[in-house]
Amino acid sequence: MKVIIHGGFFSESATNQKTKKAKQAALNAVVAEAFEYLQHHTALETVIYAVSLLEDNDLFNAGLGSQIQSDGKVRLSASLMDGKSQKFSGVINIENVKNPIQISGQLIAYDDRVLSGDGALHFARQHGHEYFDPITSERQEEFEMKRNQQERKGTVGCVALDGDGNIAAGTSTGGKGFEIPCRVSDSATVAGNFANKFAGISCTGVGEDIVNAALAAKIVTRVSDGISLADACKKSFEELKRFDGFAGVIGISYTGDIFHMDSHPYMVWASNDGEIRVFD
């Protein structure tokens, strides 16, 4: 049983040691809780649990504390994929909810599994998700000051391998900040989140670059064709260089290999296969 999570990117030069240590501590705590949860739950359930914990932490750009779009609103996107059933579900640009990954988890039982905007919100309200304002005072201040866009690349995600050999992946984002309202990122697409019985991948970075590369689906397909997880990631990132793509990935393969990679440091991540490892 193994689990790996990420908390997007941050610029080492643009942050202080206090922020870095806070993210290390947060990821350490979440990956420890997720691994303990995995002992008695499926990979799919664990991914929802771990991503929910990340969405609830305002250190990360997903759920609480998400970036604000150019019209002053927060719109959240998240997706989930179960490698066992090969079902993908997600919500795109949903407003005023706390945990979009949990809504994705409920949608996986339906035929219509990816919803956007008002339809996604209506589904959420029907299924017990009450009004929640994810804007923090810090995000509001950032929006008003229109700070450097380059500090806003990021999402959260989790990939898990359970005791029965099943893999699941989940990804959630609050966007890049100040984007055109209702922009669609990679996070609720198979470019940014994909899993099958061979591997699972969750991405972070610039959504458009990840979509252009079909990154998550491409890596998983290569592992399915017999390439190792590490080699599949490395080959895909070589292709990303052709247009200077900005991305990071976390992944687990059916053989138990666990891997992370980024094109432009600094992706923050943590893993647990019985021993916790956190970015440094």
- Residues annotated as catalytic are 155
Write the DSSP symbol of residue 70.
T
User: Under DSSP, is residue 271 helix (H, G, I), strand (E, B) or coil?
Assistant: strand
Contacts of 115 (CB under 8 A, 6+ apart): 90, 91, 92, 94, 107, 123
- Give the H/E segment covering residue 49: helix 43-55
Q: Is 56 exposed, middle or buried (0-12, 13-18, 19+ CB in 10 A)?
A: middle
Residue pair 236/201 in contact (Cβ under 8 Å)? The answer is: no
Q: What is the largest CA-CA distance in the chain?
A: 49
Which distant-in-sequence residues (6+ apart) come within 8 Å of 128 by Cβ? none
The DSSP line for 166-178 is -EEEEEEE--SSS
